[in-house]
Amino acid sequence: MDAISIIRTKRDGGALTPAQIDWVVDAYTRGTVADEQMSALAMAILLNGMDRAEIARWTAAMIASGDRMDFSSLDRPTTDKHSTGGVGDKITLPLAPLVAACGAAVPQLSGRGLGHTGGTLDKLESVPGWRARLSTEEMLDVLREAGAVICAAGDGLAPADRKLYALRDVTGTVESIPLIASSIMSKKIAEGTGALVLDVKVGSGAFMKNLDDARELARTMVGLGKDHGVRTVALLTDMSVPLGLAAGNALEVRESVEVLAGGGPADVVELTLALAREMLDAAGLPDADPARALADGSAMDHWRRMITAQGGDPDAPLPVAREQHTLTAPASGVLTALDAYAVGVAAWRLGAGRARKEDPVQAGAGIELHARPGDTVTAGAPLLTLHTDTPERFEDALAALADDAVAVTPAEGPRSVSPARPSVVLERVD
């Protein structure tokens, strides 16, 4: 085996053999294949694609590069969820304890934000004392205590993916559907969960901008789950506008707690319940009622136990940014545009996100939304409140919200009721 012949095979539109895939993934992980050679292969895969057999074998090779977790010692079925990322997507926070309250165990390995999309670990680290890094035994202890754990993946889990992802991020090959699918699924399968529900975002604030690409990604990942014996289903969900009324770390934690307390924005509640029902059904608990677990407080109890078990204080005040700036409606009418990508970039520029993995984030930075598309607003009323510790960031953040990112259209005649909002769930793929 040699890297050059493998690159040429994919460059010329050929299919890689199982032996070629096993060798190149292993050799790259060990450093035998150089970054520039794997960059060339990743670009060839981006341009020429992979068939299902290639993707399945590539995923298997990534899994084989490291450890596999085992939760068979737990007395309940395991189920997990993965989101492809969006703006204001705090669903993991209320979802994990909710599903745990209904009888399943949720070993949720999560990541950090990069660019305009937020990261679950960054959000939870705004809770004083909370720890993202846990050993495998600590994970099991938290699962036994709270039924759910949200933490960082260990270094031994799919190390080939960690190395390849960093390379794709700087070589313009992030958008390859085979590489996205194998990246996500290699970690989730190695995690050892019994069932998996995928939240594939679609729209301006997502990596998949159109429904066809999102559907292809969802079908590819569901097929990979089936190939590896993990019951997998996907929901395609709307990310053309931000999810909920907050984008930012502590702001999103606060909104998540509102959902667990029985309130919160309607779209966040809708998606949390939809994903919970899918996770419970996949785990063999179709009769569990997540809506009841929200209403009776048991989901909140599991949240508090989970946060406490990971060193956090669920009663401690969350960080608040030192400076705020409010963007008001320029005229009376109907809010007709609130672009998710623009809001995500603005929150990132305020300090809620990072441009590089090593960059720090501000716990209190982000954006509060006071209206959503379809709402009637009056001139001078607040539309968005920007939060940051560093007020010199306001100018760049407001620039991201210029042009048509936020638009108010004069209403035609009196409006007493906002129109019904479409469902955030667009399709189901199984």
342 residue type, one letter: A
Could you confirm whether 183 is annotated as catalytic? yes
Which of 39, 83, 110, 183 is catalytic? The answer is: 183
Question: Where are any strands of DSSP class E within 339-418?
Answer: 366-369, 376-377, 382-388, 406-409
Which of 80, 89, 122, 161 is catalytic? The answer is: 161
Q: Which helix (H) or strand (E) holds 291?
A: helix 290-295
- By the 8 A CB rule, do 340 and 204 touch? yes
Separation CA 170–CA 287 (nearest Å): 46
The dihedral formed by the CA atoms of 254, 260, 263 and 268, expressed in degrees to the nearest 10:
80
Q: What are phi and psi of 328, to 5 degrees?
A: -105, 165
99 residue type, one letter: V
Could you confirm whether 90 is annotated as catalytic? no
Which of 90, 116, 163, 187 is catalytic? The answer is: 187
The CA-CA-CA angle for residues 325, 329, 331, to 5°, reads 150
Residues with Cβ within 8 Å of residue 186, at least 6 apart in sequence = 59, 62, 63, 158, 160, 161
Separation CA 361–CA 341 (nearest Å): 19
Which of 10, 81, 82, 302 is catalytic? The answer is: 82
Could you confirm whether 82 is annotated as catalytic? yes
Could you confirm whether 168 is annotated as catalytic? yes
Which of 112, 168, 372, 393 is catalytic? The answer is: 168
- Return the HEC string of 73-123: CCCCCECEEEECCCCCCCCHHHHHHHHHHCCCEEEEEECCCECCECCHHHH
Could you confirm whether 187 is annotated as catalytic? yes
Q: How far is CA 249 from the centre of its chain?
A: 13
Residues with Cβ within 8 Å of residue 263, at least 6 apart in sequence = none
Task: Point out the residues that are catalytic.
Answer: 82, 161, 168, 183, 187
